């Protein structure tokens, strides 16, 4: 499941920030599924000696990746109407966006899975605010200064809520780290975690339900490049209602298996509806007892429901329905 992460920001980095960006890049690339996305900013034409975030990330990735560089580093460029004072590089997989630099920035934010901003001036604010408007994971590193610090101070509570930032992690965002290597690793690991497109599965926990999940449902979700999340398997021990509500705020899609009319699952489905989320509902009926969907509760009649017999030979039909549902979410 490929994850695109953009590292965006400043054009004149201090040496200690250069060191940090190098270590952050190395830590992000430790995950083979990560693709780094860059705006290709090399330098202002009047200041070729300056080091930008884009350039440091690109050079570090090129040194580390070698033969796989073109598969794991992307440069997103405006096809026309670029800023005349800027020199850009074309490295890795080059994606040209028709239109202005602003259109290219908008497209970049829409298509990546997470954004880290470092320092920054002029357009970093636009990137952060657009990401927040789209509920896209964005982490401005305040300790690097510039607009990343300004935007952190302005939107601190919004970002903390969106990313569910732990207090211990917040301190590392605000204060200049004593060791850039360790901080880079911590930030990279956190961003990789929150950038995964996650599908929450609400279903009974009985053994036969788990077999269906492990052998069919989970496989279909992974093929769509989503991370499946089932509370009883993927969360540490804790209060199930609280784990459910926390997961609901973080996922990109929800699938609800109402087979057997399990009361806990039906309660969770009601909570999903109360939060104005449209799930895919799965109903596995006993052989020869496929229900008339009109017999379901009135509130479910307008929902997306996939009903099939609870038999191995028809499970691929459910897989296809899941794949259509998740494909429409992209």
Classify residue 249 as exposed, middle or buried by CB count within 10 Å of its CB (0-12, 13-18, 19+).
Answer: exposed
Whether residue 158 is found in the same domain as residue 299: no
- CA 4, 86, 79, 133 dihedral sign is positive
pLDDT of residue 100: 81
Q: Which of 145, 170, 195 is the last residue of a domain?
A: 195
The percentage of the chain sitting over the pLDDT mark of 70, rounded to a whole number, equals 93
Whether residue 37 is found in the same domain as residue 174: yes
CATH of the domain at 188: 3.40.50.450
pLDDT tens digit sequence for 113-155: 899 999 998 789 999 999 998 878 899 999 999 999 999 999 9
What number of CA atoms fall less than 13 Å from residue 244's CA on the CB side? 17
Q: Which of 40-44, 69-73, 164-168 has the lowest mean pLDDT?
A: 164-168
CA of 119: how far to CAs of 10, 14, 33, 76, 177, in Å?
5, 10, 26, 20, 14
Residues 74, 35: Cα–Cα separation, whole Å: 7
User: Against a cut of 0.85, is the pTM above it?
Assistant: no
Residue 312 DSSP code:
G
User: In the predicted model, is pLDDT for residue 177 greater than 70?
Assistant: no
The percentage of the chain sitting over the pLDDT mark of 90, rounded to a whole number, equals 53
pLDDT tens digit sequence for 249-269: 777 899 999 998 899 999 999
Helices (H), 113-239: 124-133, 146-163, 167-174, 180-195, 207-212, 218-223, 231-234
Whether residue 163 is found in the same domain as residue 239: no
Whether residue 140 is found in the same domain as residue 176: yes
Q: Which of 195, 213, 237 is the last residue of a domain?
A: 195
pLDDT of residue 181: 60
pLDDT tens digit sequence for 149-172: 999 999 999 999 888 888 888 887
Determine the length of the chain. 330
- Comparing 261 with 281, the larger pLDDT belongs to 281
Whether residue 123 is found in the same domain as residue 251: no
Residues 262, 17: Cα–Cα separation, whole Å: 53
For 37-48, give one letter per residue: b (16+ CB within 10 A) or e. Answer: bbbbbbbeeeee
Count the domains in the chain. Answer: 2
Q: Which of 179, 195, 211 is the last residue of a domain?
A: 195
What is the widest separation between alpha-carbon atoms in the chain? 76
Are 163 and 29 in contact by the 8 Å Cβ rule? The answer is no
Whether residue 216 is found in the same domain as residue 324: yes
Whether residue 10 is found in the same domain as residue 81: yes
User: In the predicted model, is pLDDT for residue 48 greater than 80?
Assistant: yes
Are 140 and 149 in contact by the 8 Å Cβ rule? The answer is yes
pLDDT of residue 329: 76
pLDDT band at 1 (very low <50, low <70, confident <90, very high): low
Whether residue 215 is found in the same domain as residue 142: no
Domain boundaries, position 89: 3-195
User: In the predicted model, is pLDDT for residue 179 greater than 60?
Assistant: no
**What percentage of the chain's residues is helix, strand, coil (to nearest 5)?**
50, 20, 30
pLDDT tens digit sequence for 97-115: 888 888 888 889 988 889 9
Residues 290, 298: Cα–Cα separation, whole Å: 18
pLDDT tens digit sequence for 211-260: 999 999 999 998 887 888 888 777 655 677 887 887 787 778 999 999 98
Whether residue 191 is found in the same domain as residue 242: no
Classify residue 248 as exposed, middle or buried by CB count within 10 Å of its CB (0-12, 13-18, 19+).
Answer: middle
Are 36 and 73 in contact by the 8 Å Cβ rule? The answer is yes
Neighbours of 117 (CB within 10 A): 28
Whether residue 53 is found in the same domain as residue 176: yes
pLDDT of residue 237: 56
Residues 176, 17: Cα–Cα separation, whole Å: 9
Whether residue 212 is found in the same domain as residue 185: no
Whether residue 93 is found in the same domain as residue 170: yes
Q: Which of 13-27, 49-63, 164-178, 311-325 has the lowest mean pLDDT?
A: 164-178
């Amino acid at each position: 499941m490929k994850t695109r992460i953009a590292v965006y920001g400043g054009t004149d980095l201090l040496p200690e920030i250069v060191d940090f960006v190098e270590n952050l890049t190395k830590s992000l690339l430790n995950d083979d599924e990560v693709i780094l996305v860059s705006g290709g900013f090399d330098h202002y034409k009047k200041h070729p000696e300056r080091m930008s975030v884009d350039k440091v990330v690109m050079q570090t990735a090129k040194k580390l990746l070698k033969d796989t560089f073109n598969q794991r580093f992307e440069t997103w460029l405006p096809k026309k109407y670029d800023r005349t004072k800027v020199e850009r590089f074309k490295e890795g997989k080059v994606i040209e966006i028709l239109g202005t630099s602003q259109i290219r920035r908008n497209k970049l934010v829409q298509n990546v899975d997470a954004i880290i901003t470092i320092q920054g001036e002029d357009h970093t604010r636009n990137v952060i605010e657009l990401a927040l408007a789209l509920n896209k994971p964005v982490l401005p590193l305040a300790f690097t200064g510039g607009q990343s610090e300004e935007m952190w101070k302005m939107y601190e509570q919004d970002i903390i809520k969106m990313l569910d930032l732990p207090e211990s992690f917040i301190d590392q965002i605000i204060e200049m780290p004593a060791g850039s290597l360790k901080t880079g690793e911590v930030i990279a690991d956190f961003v990789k975690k929150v950038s995964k497109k996650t599908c929450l599965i609400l279903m009974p926990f009985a053994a036969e339900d788990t077999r269906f999940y492990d052998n069919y449902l989970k496989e279909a979700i992974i093929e769509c490049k989503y991370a499946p999340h089932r509370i009883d398997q993927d969360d540490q021990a804790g209060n199930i209602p609280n784990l459910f509500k926390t997961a609901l705020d973080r996922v990109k899609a929800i699938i609800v298996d109402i087979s057997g009319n399990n009361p806990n699952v039906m309660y969770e489905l009601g909570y999903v509806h109360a939060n104005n989320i449209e799930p895919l509902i799965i109903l596995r009926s006993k052989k020869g007892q496929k229900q008339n969907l009109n017999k379901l509760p009135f509130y479910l009649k307008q929902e997306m429901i996939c009903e099939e017999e609870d038999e191995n030979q028809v499970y691929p039909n459910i897989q296809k329905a899941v794949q259509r549902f998740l494909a429409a979410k992209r």
